[in-house]
Amino acid sequence: MSQPTRDELFAAIERGDIDTVVMAFPDLQGRLVGKRTSGRFFLDHVAEHGTENCDYLVATDFDDVAVPGFGFASYELGYGDMLARADFTTVRVTPWVPKTALVLCDLFSVTSGDPIRVAPRQVLRDQVSASQSMNLEPMIGSEIEFYLFHDSYEHIHAQGYRNLTPHSPFMEDYQIVQTTRDEYVVGEIRRGLVAAGIPVEFSKGEAGRGQHELNLAYTRALEMADRNVVYKTAAKEIAGALGRSVTFMAKYDFGETGSSCHVHSSLWHLSEGAVRGSAFDAGHATNGHGTALTDHFRMYLAGQLAASRDFSILWGPTVNSYKRFQPGSWAPTAVAWGIDNRTLGYRVVGHGASTRVECRIPGADANSYLAFAGTIAAGLYGIRNRLSLSDAYDGNGYEATDLPRIPATLAEAADLWERSDIARECFGDDVHQHLLTMARHEWSVFNGTVTDWERVRYFDRA
């Protein structure tokens, strides 16, 4: 089903087919926040003006705690409002929530009318604009994995998130019989997304018990991030309505395979607003590995490698993110690139117009807007500075001793971001400080808790 236009949405409300409009935007964690409006109120008051929302919504943590230290929003600044204006290119009817349409919003100052630069959707918009100013259009696809459980969200919460029951007792990587048993949930997610105007390519079982991957069609960067935030929202809402639950944690159990958000990216030539062909397509040229690499591609990938460690908080935003990076786990530990090599942070795949870089570092917990912004920013940094690409790495990246490593903790990643001249150059001081504040807060909250592991290990024996 195609997405409704603005006029088609208005007509559906007038007919009574739609009686609720969700005006939403992504917070720092990549979750949708905002307001539900009645259809009539939307037509009369919201469609043109937008909704006003407290500015702490893009300066809060997972618990909606008002975090101190942000330059953008604080008690000292009064926690005022910001304006969420509808982006009518994002209208979607969400069949899993009856008679409801979802509209994604951009955020603006209620006083100056200027965009809120630290809002995740705007952070990505700015990197897309930077690319377009170089007559290049970033195209992105991503593969987000999740775990499906028999337990409901209410049951899991009541038992303290212990003794979870994966929906499969077996690893179900590419397995058809087991995924058929999961189809009453996963199939509903697929069908719901398609009905909401999001092209789904396929779903498959993954390398964990109850683990799945769902792939959406490759498209422009902002649209891809919008599709991802709807996908993650739909998966949770549909599973919850069926008495089941899903998680996008990067590593919900250390004994299980982590869940990733592999990011496939390329740049395309832009002329008069139209995409004219891949900047990574070298035709019939070869690099000795059977894959052609253009100058744009080499500089773009060199930028990825140069910025990768510095940008780690964009790929891994939580304490849990860094539990995923384990040898032999399908998650990378080394910052290097290779041709179709899944042991490295960067994998070159495709040929001709489909040639692209797969960044295997982000986890399923990444905020797609920020992860994609980092991907584009790093590549453009390489092009602006005409960086040279190192040789491809052949062999097992897990066993390499001469390659830089992905940070081991959120604290290490935050230190790298704080000291990074590349991050400041690419994102500006305001966004740099905003994202650093959140990373530091998340680490601080973790260090202010005592875990179950500590009690089990030390209670009797310390």
Q: What is the CATH number of the domain that holds 340?
A: 3.30.590.10
- Give 294-311 as a DSSP string: -HHHHHHHHHHHHHTTTT
Helix 421-447 with 410-419: angle, nearest 10 deg = 150
Within 10 A of 111 (CB to CB), how many other CB atoms are there? 10
Angle in degrees, CA 87, 93, 98, rounded to 5: 135
CB 284 within 8 A of CB 411: no
Please report, as a single letter, which amino acid is at residue 325: F
- Predicted pLDDT at 331: 93
CB 210 within 8 A of CB 217: no
Considering the domain architecture, whether residues 138 and 102 belong to the same structural domain is answered as no
Would residue 332 count as lying in a domain?
A: yes
Considering the domain architecture, whether residues 156 and 63 belong to the same structural domain is answered as no
Within 10 A of 444 (CB to CB), how many other CB atoms are there? 12
Q: Show the tokens assigned to 452.
A: 């179950």
Helix 295-307 with 368-384: angle, nearest 10 deg = 120
CA distances from 223 to 52, 216, 230 (A): 24, 11, 11
- Alpha-carbon span 175 to 181, nearest angstrom: 11
Range of the domain at 275: 129-451
- Alpha-carbon span 151 to 167, nearest angstrom: 9
- Of 116, 144, 175, which residue constitutes the final position of a domain? 116
Within 10 A of 51 (CB to CB), how many other CB atoms are there? 21
DSSP 201: E
Considering the domain architecture, whether residues 246 and 347 belong to the same structural domain is answered as yes
CA dihedral 376, 378, 380, 386 (to 10 degrees): -150
CB 83 within 8 A of CB 68: no
Would residue 23 count as lying in a domain?
A: yes
Considering the domain architecture, whether residues 57 and 152 belong to the same structural domain is answered as no
Considering the domain architecture, whether residues 267 and 362 belong to the same structural domain is answered as yes
Query: What is the count of structural domains for the chain?
Result: 2
Considering the domain architecture, whether residues 144 and 104 belong to the same structural domain is answered as no
- Predicted pLDDT at 287: 45
- Alpha-carbon span 26 to 47, nearest angstrom: 19
CATH number of the domain where residue 34 is located: 3.10.20.70
Would residue 1 count as lying in a domain?
A: no
Would residue 331 count as lying in a domain?
A: yes
Would residue 147 count as lying in a domain?
A: yes
Considering the domain architecture, whether residues 302 and 176 belong to the same structural domain is answered as yes
CB 335 within 8 A of CB 404: yes
- Of 51, 86, 116, which residue constitutes the final position of a domain? 116
- Residues 420-425: contacts with CB within 8 Å, 24+ apart? 420/307, 420/310, 420/311, 422/306, 422/307, 422/310, 422/311, 422/378, 422/381, 423/307, 423/310, 423/311, 425/381
Would residue 121 count as lying in a domain?
A: no
Considering the domain architecture, whether residues 36 and 79 belong to the same structural domain is answered as yes
- Of 88, 116, 144, which residue constitutes the final position of a domain? 116
Q: Show the tokens assigned to 41.
A: 């109120």
Considering the domain architecture, whether residues 162 and 213 belong to the same structural domain is answered as yes
- Alpha-carbon span 304 to 380, nearest angstrom: 9
User: 433: exposed, middle or buried (C-beta count within 10 Å: 0-12, 13-18, 19+)?
Assistant: middle
User: 81: exposed, middle or buried (C-beta count within 10 Å: 0-12, 13-18, 19+)?
Assistant: middle
Q: What is the mean pLDDT of each run of 10 residues along the chain (462 residues)?
A: 91 98 98 98 97 96 93 93 98 97 98 97 98 97 97 96 94 94 98 97 96 96 98 98 98 96 96 88 58 89 98 97 94 94 93 93 98 98 97 93 95 98 98 98 96 93 93
End-to-end CA distance of the chain: 61
Would residue 70 count as lying in a domain?
A: yes
CB 115 within 8 A of CB 132: no
Considering the domain architecture, whether residues 76 and 225 belong to the same structural domain is answered as no
